[in-house]
Structure 1
Amino acid sequence: MNTQTLEKLREKLHDNANILGNLLVETFHYIGLFAIGAVTAWAGALTCWEMLHQGTITVDDILLLFIYLELGAMVGIYFKTNHMPVRFLIYVGITALTRYLISDVSHHHRPDMGAVYISAAILLLALAVLVVRYASSRFPSSNTPQGANATDDPERAEP
């Protein structure tokens, strides 16, 4: 075999390996997204069922449902755009810390320095959202098409 034939064979093998690799990676992503979405929906449904069964609803329960909602929104945005919005992860962190703070103060009835630390962490995460939003509006991603609206980019869209 001559060198040119071997080179064409190598290119064809490389192209087929890329196609197969991309198929396997995308399949893994979709299976993972379906699993995360299904588990999030199941956890939300179980939380609702427990609230209805107990007959009482607390602020903790409502904030937990907001966490599930934000996780579901992240999965939905990733399905639509193949882009993971960092802001939503920060929102989940803010909501989780808020839930923890409310739960801690309501159950122990004595705010201490821990409450101040958690509040500072929430403030820090809120500032991180501000920085991410400013950076995404000032320095748009290179894969955002020219002339695209700020609302076309999920990182810059209003929550």
Structure 2
Amino acid sequence: MNEIKLSEKLRNRLQAQADSLGNLFVDGFHYIALFGIGAITAWAAVHAFIGMVIEGDINVDDILLLFIYLELGAMIGIYFKTNHMPIRFLLYVAITALTRLLIGDVSHHNPPNIGIIYLCGGILLLAIATLIVRYASYRFPSDKTIENKNSDRSAH
């Protein structure tokens, strides 16, 4: 009987150590990946900005590209601080990217075709998805959000 308790105790200890080591590796990969994505985003934004300044001809496409980099950077920062992926920021990036494509298409004086309708429809669907996500997060907040709000209230 004591041997069974001892083996169960050893198994639980081994399981706890394996869980701890696994969590360490996952967290390590998580932070390395976040720093890598953040660094690449910052480098791409700086590279695009310098290219715009050197070229001297900045248009709306370029400004929207910088907004995309800004949104990606904000999303990475929020994810780094909260370990929560703000899906709305992905939707904002997609809306900005489609808007950039639409403006680029129109500004190059391409003849209107069904593609413009598709782009506008895509922007509309993404805007509706953003409204749905915002409503759902307001109406059905996650446990983490509720805990954060309660801790904020108790701090004041």
Q: Could you say whether these structures have the same fold, taking a TM-score greater than 0.5 normalized by the shorter chain as the test?
A: yes
Find the aligned partners of 2:50 and 2:147 in 1 and give their Cα distance: 47
Q: Deviations over 1:10-65 (max 9, x none)?
A: 00100000000000000001000000000000000000110011011011110000
Q: Which amino acid aligns with 1:77?
A: I
Question: How far apart are residue 111 of structure 1 and its match?
Answer: 2.1
Gaps of 5+ in 1: 153-159
* Equivalent residue number for residue 118 of structure 1: 119
Which residues in structure 2 correspond to 1:35-74 (within 5 Å)? 35-74=36-75
Question: How far apart are residue 108 of structure 1 and its match?
Answer: 3.7
Higher deviation after alignment, 140-149 or 31-40: 140-149
Question: How far apart are residue 144 of structure 1 and its match?
Answer: 2.2
Which residues in structure 2 correspond to 1:8-157 (within 5 Å)? 8-146=9-147, 148=149
Structural RMSD (CA): 1.8
Question: How far apart are residue 143 of structure 1 and its match?
Answer: 2.2
Comparing both structures, which one devotes a greater share of its residues to helix?
2
Find the aligned partners of 1:146 and 1:82 in 2 and give their Cα distance: 14
Find the aligned partners of 2:89 and 2:125 in 1 and give their Cα distance: 15
Q: Deviations over 1:80-124 (max 9, x none)?
A: 100000000000000000001111111243222111110011011
Give the TM-score normalised by structure 1. Answer: 0.90
Identity across matched positions, percent: 61
Give the TM-score normalised by structure 2. Answer: 0.92
Q: 1:22 to 1:104 in 2, by over 3 A?
A: same
Gaps of 5+ in 2: none
Find the aligned partners of 1:108 and 1:18 in 2 and give their Cα distance: 59
Question: How far apart are residue 4 of structure 1 and its match?
Answer: 0.7
Large movers: runs of 4+ above 6 Å = none
Q: 1:86 to 1:104 in 2, by over 3 A?
A: same
Q: Which amino acid aligns with 2:143?
A: S
Find the aligned partners of 1:20 and 1:111 in 2 and give their Cα distance: 58
Q: Which amino acid aligns with 1:10?
A: R
Find the aligned partners of 1:30 and 1:44 in 2 and give their Cα distance: 21
Q: 1:63 to 1:147 in 2, by over 3 A?
A: closer
